[in-house]
Every structure is written in C-alpha cells, then in structure tokens.
Amino acid sequence: MKTLETKSMVLLHHHLKALRLPTIGAEAEKVAAQAATDNADHLTYLLRLCELELLEREKRAAERRLKAARFPTFKSLDTFDFTARPSVNKMLITELARCDFIDKRENVLLVGNPGTGKSHLATALAAAACGRGYKVRFFRATELITTLIEARDERTFLRVKNQLAKLDLLVLDELGYVPASKVGAELLFDVISTAYERTSMIVTTNLPFESWTEVLGSERLTGATLDRLTHRCRIIETKGESYRLHDAKTRTRRTRHPETLANTTAPTPD
C-alpha cells in the first residue's frame, strides 16, 4: 500500500508538472489532510486546489506586470496622506484606482509644483492597474523621448511602437521639466496621438497649459498634443507646497522646539 501511494504521488507530481500546475503539486497533500478532517467530498477538495493554483497564478502575474511597468520607486495609495493635500479629491482617486478610466480609454493629468505628490499618485494608480490585470509601462518623459530617438536611429522604431501599442496604460512622468528637441517633441506627439482613444495615459507635469509651448516648441504641436491629451481626461491639481519641504519643516520645528512635542506626549502631572 505504502509503495503504491508513493508511486502514485511520484506520478501525480510528474503529471502536474507536465500540466504546469505547481501549486496543486505543492499543496495536494496538505489540502487532502485538511479535506479529510473537514469531511469534505472529492469535488470540494478539487475546487480548493484549483482555487489555490489560480490565486498563486494571479499573484505571480501581478508581480510580473509590476516588474514590467518599471516604476522607479514603488508607491501605493495607502501611504498617500490626503489630509496633507486637500486639493486632491480622495473619492476621485479611489474611483480611478478601480481602473474604469482604462476601459474607457480616458486619461489622467496630474498638474502641480515639484514635490506635491504627482509621481506618487501616478505610480500608485498605475500599480493598482497592474494588480487588476492591465499592462502598464512607466516612463519619465525624457526617458521615453530618448528611447524613441535611439530607436529611430537604430531602425527599431516600429518595434518600440508595437510594444507601446500593447499597453493598456502608459505613464508619462515629468513632462515639462526639460524642453524637448524638435524631433523629440514630434516623436512624443506621435506616441500621444497613437495612444489617443486606444491606450490610457497618466501624465504628470509641473507646467500650466499655457507654458507647454516652451517645452514642445511649436504652438501647432502643443495645441494638437493638448487637444488629444485633454479630450476625455481627468485633471487633478496637486496645489500647495512641496510635501518634502512640509515634512522637513515639521521635523525642524520638532528639533527646535522639542518641548512642544514633549508637552503633547508627556503625561500631565497631578
């Protein structure tokens, strides 16, 4: 009996490997013991195993999508302090994190001064999209422009464009920090117009619309870019001072006036 069981187990693991069901292989015995304790029938046992396999598969796929998105730093909505940024509507951000805007091919534009949480929110929303099965890629605008210029020179432009076309969500961070060259601006426009109504975009910028010509060069190109980007678009303004500055100021106040902190935390004497 023992040898038969061992032989069956070896065969089972072999078949599961061939069928690419590693989690079922790893969990089969443990779940069988649990099923015996619970008096669960065969179908319930099979169902539990399939659920575990599916969960693990989804987890690994989400991890792969997060890696493929190439976020410079990982940020989530859990760590975003909405009280520190009242101009940002928490309800709207929570709704965007459900990703309906991606199905509707809408865009999100985050506008505000440096340090006001634009990249944080863009990354957090894009990471939520990875978790929901969407294909995402994060680029700093200058990085994308450089990639496109290099691809054009190396004649791999179509390949890069095909990769971009496969995405569900393209994040363009820091549009406007560095003025683009004429070629760069045209290539960027090409990406934006190709994505228009096909791929959602999240764009972050420190520039008010009237200054975009300084970055993109020609007024015609700026007009056409803004037209495509802002059609069916949620605009979120991150008004106020830099979070880092605010953080630093709070820390300085605490070191300068430690008694303020001590007074609030120390127990009051009788």
Contact footprint for Mg ion (CB under 5 A)? 119
Q: For residues 23 and 206, which CB has a smaller minimum distance to ligand ADP in the complex?
A: 206
Which CB atom, from 171 or from 229, has the smaller least distance to ligand ADP?
A: 171
The position carrying tokens 């598969």 is 57
- The answer to whether the beta carbons of residues 168 and 194 sit under 8 Å apart is no
71 vs 134, beta carbon nearer Mg ion: 71
In terms of CB distance, is 120 or 228 closer to ligand ADP?
120
Residue 81 touches ligand ADP, criterion: CB under 6 A = yes
Q: Determine, following the binding rule CB under 6 A, whether residue 140 of this chain makes contact with ligand ADP.
A: no
- Smallest distance from the beta carbon of 88 to ligand ADP, in angstroms? 7
Q: Does 207 bind ligand ADP (CB under 6 A)?
A: no
25 in contact with ligand ADP (CB under 6 A): no
Token representation of residue 148: 């496109």
Asked if residue 75 binds ligand ADP (CB under 6 A), the reply is yes
Under the rule (CB under 6 A), what is the footprint of ligand ADP? 75, 79-81, 84-85, 112, 114-120, 204, 238, 243-244
